[in-house]
Structure 1
C-alpha cells in the first residue's frame, strides 16, 4: 500500500496505519504484563527502546549540568507512560522530588504502574502540592482536555514512543485529518513557557521530528538531543532511535 500524504505539505508523509496505533493493542499488551507480573513479580512490563538503553540515556541527559534542572522544583508529565519506568528512574536515580505524573489511555497500563509503585514502596499521592508525589492517571491526550490543575503546564513533558504509536493510528479528527496532525500542538499546550519537551522515536528521523513539532505556528524550537550509537550501512550513517529536546519559547 502507498504511504498517505500529510495534509500539511511542510510535514512528513504519514506512516501506514498499524495495530500498534490502536488502543486495543496496548490494552492487550499491558493486560498480559499485568497477568505476568501477578505470577512473576520481577516482570515489570514492556519498555520501549530498551535495546539502545534509551531510558538511561534520557535520564543522563535530563540530569546533566548543561540543562541545570532543579531537582526539587522541576515537574514532569510522561505521555503514554506505559510501565512508568521513566518516572521511576527520574525519582529513584535522578533524585527529582517534585510532581511526577504519568498518563496513559490504557487502563491496564495505569493499573500496572500502580502495582509496580506499591512493589517499589512508593506512595501514590493525588495531591499535587505534596513533595515527592508520583501519580499515574488514565488520560487520553487525543480526546481529553487537560486537567484544571495542569493549566500552568509542566517544566518537562516526556514522550518515549507515544508519538510513534499515534503516527501509526488510522484514526481521523473532526477536521478529517489523521490524528497525528494535531498531536504536537496538544503536547505544546502541556508545557510551560521556557519548558522542555523530549520526544523519542524509532519511526522518524531527527529532521522529520523537527518538521512535526516546529514550524511557523509552533512555539517549540530544537534545544538539544540525546546521543545514541551510530550505524553505517550502504555508505550511509544513521541511528535506529533519536531523542530530540524541544524548548517552548518564552
Structure 2
C-alpha cells in the first residue's frame, strides 16, 4: 500500500461533483451541439501528445492484431476517444497506415451523467464510428465489467488523479482508491496490454510507485513534456507513462 503518497482530499474526488458537472455539460450540449465540453490538460497540449504517442509508438505494437481495442477510464465526455478516432482516420486516409486494422473505442465512467453525455455526442456527431460507453465503478471489487472484458490499450487522462483526491478508506483492510487502482485495472489487461496514464498530481517517480508496487506491470515508455527547474529539481506539470503487462 502506498501510504507515503497522499494527496489532500477534494470535492473533485467525489461522484456528486462529477454527476453535477456532467449534468451541466449535457445541458450546454443540448443548447449548442458544438459545445462538447472540456478537453482536460488542454493547456499542456497533453491530448495531442497522447494521441501522437499512440499512433507513433503504441498502436504499431499491436499492428498484427486484426482488431485493436481501446478503453478510456473515466471517459467524461469521450473527447479523447473521439479525437483519437478522427486522427487515426486521417492517418489511414493520408498515409494508408493501419488500413487493415479495426479499432474499437470503449469508454467507462462511474458517473451515469458522463456516460449519457458521451453517448449523446457519439450519436449526434460520430454515428458511423465504433464507440461504446458504459457506467462502471472502477473500484468495485465485484465488477462484472472488469472481470469479463480485456483490452489492448487502456487510457487514463486524469482519472487516477481524481481517485487520489478522495482519501476515504474503501476496503476492509484499510486501503484507499489509489491503493487498489492498479490491481483493478490489471484485471482488464491481456498479456502485453498497455496502460497509458496521464497525471498532473503525481511526479513520475510517484506514479511509477503507485502502479508497480501492487502489480507486475512494468514501465514501457513515457511521453516527454516541456520541463522546468525549481529549487534544483527538474520536472514537468504533466506526466504520461505507459505500463506493460509483460507477464501472465
**Residues 3-22 of structure 1 aligned to structure 2 (within 5 Å):** 8=1, 12-22=4-14
- Bigger drift between 71-80 and 22-31 goes to 71-80
CA, structure 1 residues 65+234, in 2 after alignment: closer, same or farther (shift >3 Å)?
A: closer
Which whole-Å CA distance do the structure 2 matches of 1:136 and 1:11 have between them?
33
TM-score in terms of structure 1 length: 0.86
Structure 2 unaligned residues grouped into runs of 5+: 90-100
Structure 2 contact 193–245 (Cα < 8 Å) conserved:
yes
Shift of 1:237: 2.3
1:165 aligns with 2:162: yes
CA, structure 1 residues 66+83, in 2 after alignment: closer, same or farther (shift >3 Å)?
A: closer
Q: Which residue does 1:249 correspond to in 2?
A: 246
1:82 aligns with 2:87: no
Number of positions where the alignment pairs a residue of Structure 1 with one of Structure 2: 232
Which whole-Å CA distance do the structure 1 matches of 2:106 and 2:225 have between them?
26
Higher RCO (Cα < 8 Å, 6 or more apart): 2
Alignment equivalent of 1:39, drawn from 31, 44, 58: 31
Structure 1 unaligned residues grouped into runs of 5+: 1-7, 124-131
TM-score in terms of structure 2 length: 0.86
Which whole-Å CA distance do the structure 1 matches of 2:53 and 2:212 have between them?
21
1:140 aligns with 2:137: yes
Structure 2 contact 155–195 (Cα < 8 Å) conserved:
yes
Structure 1 contact 157–197 (Cα < 8 Å) conserved:
yes
What value does the CA root-mean-square deviation take over the aligned residues?
2.0
Q: Which residue does 1:50 correspond to in 2?
A: 42
- Which contiguous aligned blocks of 4+ residues in structure 1 show a shift greater than 6 angstroms? none
Kindly indicate which of the two structures has a greater share of residues assigned to helix: 2
